[in-house]
């Protein structure tokens, strides 16, 4: 079974800690050092997009996963993430 995960841009964190990994059903995020060589926010966004593309996660799903991890999985902004996780769980 594939897990619903995505990389997200965490604004305001120190350089090198601006990319987080979120997992469906879990609160918060896991900080990564994938952006340690990125100087600008634009560079970080490019890295996040590339990482999610490699995982096959659409941008809207990544944003929804981030919202759910921060505000709860029942919040309206997490609806897309819930649907995505359900599709993955059913193997569709």
pTM tops 0.95: no
Copy the structure tokens of residue 38: 């990125």
Q: How many domains does the chain have?
A: 1
Per the structure, the complete domain to which residue 35 belongs is given by 5-89
Q: In what order do the strands lie in the sheet with 19-23?
A: 5-9, 19-23, 30-32
Each residue's pLDDT tens digit, 6-17: 999 998 777 777
Each residue's pLDDT tens digit, 57-69: 999 999 999 999 9
């Amino acid at each position: 079974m594939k897990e619903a995960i995505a990389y997200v841009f965490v604004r305001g964190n120190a350089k090198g800690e601006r990319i987080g990994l979120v997992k469906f059903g879990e609160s918060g995020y896991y900080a990564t050092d994938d952006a340690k060589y990125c100087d600008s926010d634009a560079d970080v966004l490019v890295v996040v997009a590339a990482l999610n593309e490699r995982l096959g996660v659409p941008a809207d799903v990544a944003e929804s996963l981030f919202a759910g991890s921060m505000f709860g999985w029942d919040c309206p902004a997490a609806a897309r993430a819930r649907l995505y996780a359900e599709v993955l769980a059913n193997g569709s």
